[in-house]
Every structure is written in C-alpha cells, then in structure tokens.
C-alpha cells in the first residue's frame, strides 16, 4: 500500500454508478418497509429471507457467484486472477433495528455489490478474489446477541451456542436459521471460517461529525468497546392499597435505585462514557400490584478496555446493594473489546478519498460493527459517510445519494489496492 492511488484503483472508483447504487438501496428498502418510510427487517425473518432472495438474484444476474455458510452469512464473489489467494472482503449487514432506516448496514452490502459491478465495468482483473458479505444478525434487534454471523466466522463464538437464543417473537434462533437456509437449498455452502487478506466495511456515520464539517467520508480509526448485560431485580408482589410501605420489596423501586446508582458510577465530565438503559419491563405491570420483578438492559461503552473492565467489575456489587432488600441477577449478553484498525488500512482509505476528490478526516466509531469481529481474522478498516443530523436507528435515517456514491467510490478503490492487480 503506497503513498498514491494506482491508476487501476482510481479507474475502478470512477466506474461506480451512483444511480445504480441508489436504485439498489431503494429496492432493498422495500423488504420490510414501514409505512413511516423506515425499515423493519429482523434477522432471519420473512422480510430478511425475501431481501436475501432479491440480493442473490441481483448478484447472479451480474455474473457473480453466491454461497452461504452455516450461520447464513451470504457471500458474493468476484473471481480473482489467483482464485487460491485469500480474498479481500467488503460487507456489512441487511438486518435492521425494529424501527430502523434504509442505510444502516444496507449501504455497506450494496456498495460492495456496486464495487464488484464497477470492477467489471472498468474491465479490471484483481489478483485476489473480492467477496461481498451480508452478515447475519448484526443488530440484535430480534435475537439479543448482536454480530452473530461475524462472531461465528471470526471464531469468537461457536455457532451451536446461538441455537437456543430466543427472539423477541419467541422463535428460537436455530429454527429461524433453518428456515432461512432451507429457502436457498441450491446455494453452495461456504466453510464457517476461512482466512482472509483484508476486510473493509462502508457504513453511515450514525453521528453528526461529517455533516457538521461538510466532509464526504471518514477513515475510521477504531471501534470502542461494548458491554451488554440484562439485569433482573426480584422482590415480592402484593396489594398496592393494603401493603404497608415499611418492609415492602418493590422490584421496580429496587431497579430504579440500581439505575440511579449506575448513573452516578457512569458520570463522566469528559463525556466519553456511553451508558444506556434502553429496555425496562416490570411484572406483572399493573397499577395496583407491587411489582414482583423488574428487568432492564445495560449498554455500556468506552474506547478504553481498562476502564470498561474496571467499571464492569463494579456493576454487580453496586446493583445488588442498591436493589436491596430485593435481590438482583446480572446476565452478560455482549462483550466486545475496543479495536484499533491497522494504520496502513486507515491510511489507504485516506489516500483513496483524496485521490478521488472526497474531503475526508479520521474518526473513531461509537457504534459497533461486524468489522470488530472481522479484525480478529485479518487487517480490517471502515469508511463512514455522513447521515442527516447524525440520525440512525430511526425511520428517518438518511444519507444523500452523493455521499452514498462517495463512500462506494472510496470502498471500490480501496478494494482494488488491497486485492492487487
Ligand atoms: C450497533 O448497531 C450498535 O448498537 O452500535
Ligand atoms: Mn450497522
Ligand atoms: Mn445498527
């Protein structure tokens, strides 16, 4: 990876067809479309299966070969001159949040397909094959544990460990996975794990920086670490009108005290800690019954692993003490350490952006992405493009067509440099 952009990479980037990419984005957004303009396409659902069928059809129509692995990651390949060489992988996910948008994930997959198409249009043969992947269940919107597909591919998780996960709709992941795989019986099976040369993911920023600074793209430096836990507080139910206040074991009040203590623990004058309780349920959830059980989620993030580890170790004693006289149990559901992307991949993305005339900066990712797991297998990097008002995980999520095109151009040129000619 050198100081300038090769002529082939520049030509490939310039062959990206922004209108074709935009049509693909709008087409994919039809699967699971919500009436408010957003998308609800849960992993391994009927909408996901239909979206996959469309994507497979498009890829095959354009002459690329498609395969699938045991966790239903979908792989689209453009052959390399050396088919035995480890591939360069481009990709993201096509599942969405329950009230998600058209671009989170979809952009990275469809820009990957556009990159393969642009390589054909520019008549460029790469030495390494270039694969596009749509990872299974990045969002965790249906099955709680996110990045399911990439974590299995990376070897961080065993496929079988996910089978019993129960979705928000009560369906077991193993059953939904079988339905999805059964829908494409003719697709060749790819191994669960294989070596790769590099991985690059294009994504909307999901934050306000690029838009505020009027930039087209960011070369992402790394992804902060994340811990997810489910907390359950247990007390005693009783009649709201007759049970004396003294001696009550109200689970909702216990959970409320625990959350107040967590807010104090997570207070950060530098505003770098991210702490969210995004889900809260009380049982039996009746106005005149003392709650017997309360359950809430913790999403805790920071770029520094030591801080994440230290503070995570304090959660259990703190929650137990605050919830008393109720009892509390904690179940970790997601554990991702921070990752820094290799300098040469970050620099290569900057070189491509500059050569193609797209103003860029470096930026760290506050959101997690499948690139975090891919980085365990091979050098990985990410490209961000602006999204309106930094809004994401929302039906009004939006990126301008020119920014989608800019990201795809940089992705395509970077892929050529990594795959070699
Ligand atoms: C990914 O969707 C995240 O929550 O960071
Ligand atoms: Mn995403
Ligand atoms: Mn997301």
Ligand 1 pocket member 341 (CB < 6 A) = no
Give the closest residue (by CA) to ligand 1 atom 4. Answer: 367
Q: Which ligand is nearest to the CA of 228?
A: 1
Q: Report if pTM > 0.85.
A: yes
Measured in Å, residue 392 CA sits from the centre of ligand 1 at 10
Ligand 1 pocket: which of 147, 301, 367 to mutate (most atoms within 8 A of CB): 367
Among candidate residues 376, 367, 394, 375, the one with its CA nearest the CA of residue 384: 367
* Number of the ligand closest to the Cα of 92: 2
Q: Please report the pLDDT score of residue 141 as a whole number.
A: 87
pLDDT of residue 208 exceeding 60, the answer is yes
| pLDDT value, residue 3 | 62
What are the tokens at 309? 């580890």
Structure tokens at 60: 């095959």
Averaged over 297-312, what is the pLDDT?
97
Query: Over the stretch 100-132, which tens digit does the pLDDT of each residue have?
Result: 999 999 999 999 999 999 999 999 999 999 999
Q: Give the helix/strand (H/E) hosting 167.
A: none
Alpha-carbon separation of residue 79 from 89, 124, 129 (angstroms): 12, 11, 5
pLDDT for res 143: 93
Nearest ligand, CA of residue 201? 2
Alpha helices in 146-208 (DSSP H): 148-154, 159-162, 173-182
Mean pLDDT score across all residues of the chain: 97
Note the pLDDT of residue 2: 45
In the structure, ligand 2 is a single-atom ion and the residues with CB under 5 Å from it are: 104-105
- 299 Cα nearest atom in ligand 1: 4
Q: Quick one: CA dihedral 197, 162, 221, 113, positive or negative? A: positive
**How does pLDDT run across 81-96, given as a tens digit for each residue?**
999 999 999 999 999 9
Residue-wise pLDDT tens digits, 45-68: 999 999 999 999 999 999 999 999
Residue 1 predicted with pLDDT over 60: no
Please report the pLDDT score of residue 217 as a whole number. Answer: 98
- Please indicate whether residue 139, judged by its CB atom, sits closer than 6 Å to ligand 1: yes
What is the percent of the chain with per-residue pLDDT over 90, rounded to a whole number? 98
Cβ of 228 closer than 6 Å to ligand 1, yes or no, is: no
Q: What confidence tens digit (pLDDT) does each residue in 388-408 have?
A: 999 999 999 999 999 999 999
SS3 389: helix
What does the pLDDT look like over 313-369, one tens digit per residue? 999 999 999 999 999 999 999 899 999 999 999 999 999 999 999 999 999 999 999
Pairing of strands 380-385, 198-204: parallel
The bound ligand whose nearest atom lies closest to the alpha carbon of 223 is: 1
Rounded to 5°, the CA angle 61-42-133 comes to 40
Q: At residue 72, what are phi and psi to the nearest 5 degrees?
A: 70, 20
Residue 201 Cβ < 6 Å to ligand 1 = no
Model confidence at 170: pLDDT above 90: yes
Q: What is the mean pLDDT of residues 184-209?
A: 98
> 147, 228, 369: which to mutate for ligand 1, most atoms within 8 A of CB?
369
Residue 200's pLDDT band, with cuts at 50, 70 and 90, is very high
Q: Tell whether the model's pLDDT for residue 144 goes beyond 90.
A: no
């Amino acid at each position: 990876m050198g100081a300038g952009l090769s002529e082939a990479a520049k030509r490939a980037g310039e062959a990206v067809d922004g209108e074709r990419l935009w049509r693909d984005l709008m087409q994919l957004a039809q699967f699971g479309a919500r009436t408010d303009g957003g998308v609800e396409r849960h992993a391994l659902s009927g909408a996901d299966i239909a979206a996959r069928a469309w994507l497979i059809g498009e890829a095959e129509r354009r002459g690329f070969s498609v395969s699938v692995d045991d966790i239903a990651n979908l792989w689209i390949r453009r052959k390399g001159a050396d088919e035995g060489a480890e591939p360069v992988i481009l990709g993201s996910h096509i599942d969405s949040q329950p009230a998600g948008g058209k671009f989170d994930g979809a952009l990275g997959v469809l820009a990957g397909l556009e990159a393969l198409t642009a390589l054909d249009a520019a008549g460029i043969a790469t030495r390494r094959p270039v694969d596009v992947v749509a990872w299974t269940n990045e969002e965790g919107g249906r099955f709680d544990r996110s990045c399911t597909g990439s974590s299995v591919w990376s070897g961080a998780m065993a496929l079988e460990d996910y089978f019993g996960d129960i979705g928000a709709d009560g369906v077991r992941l193993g059953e939904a996975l079988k339905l999805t795989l059964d829908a494409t019986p003719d697709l060749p099976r790819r191994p669960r794990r294989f070596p790769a040369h590099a991985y690059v993911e294009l994504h909307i920023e999901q934050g306000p920086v690029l838009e505020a600074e009027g930039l087209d793209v960011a070369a992402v430096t790394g992804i902060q670490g994340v811990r997810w836990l489910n907390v359950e507080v247990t007390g005693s139910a009783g009649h709201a009108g007759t049970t004396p206040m003294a001696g009550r074991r109200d689970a909702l009040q216990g959970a409320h005290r625990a959350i107040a203590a967590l807010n104090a623990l997570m207070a950060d004058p530098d505003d770098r800690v991210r702490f969210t309780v995004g889900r809260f349920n009380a049982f039996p959830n009746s106005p005149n019954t003392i709650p017997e059980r309360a359950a809430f989620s913790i999403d805790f993030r920071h770029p520094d692993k030591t801080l994440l580890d230290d503070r995570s170790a304090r959660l259990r004693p703190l929650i137990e003490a605050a919830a008393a006289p109720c009892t509390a149990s904690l179940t970790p559901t997601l554990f991702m350490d921070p990752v820094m992307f290799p300098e040469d991949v970050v620099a290569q993305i900057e070189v491509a952006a500059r050569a193609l005339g797209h103003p860029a900066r470096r930026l760290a990712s506050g959101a997690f992405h499948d690139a975090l797991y891919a980085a365990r297998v091979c050098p990985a990097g990410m490209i961000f493009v602006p999204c309106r008002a930094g809004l994401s995980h929302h039906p009004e999520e939006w990126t301008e067509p020119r920014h989608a095109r800019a990201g795809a151009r940089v992705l395509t040129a970077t892929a050529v440099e990594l795959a070699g000619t």
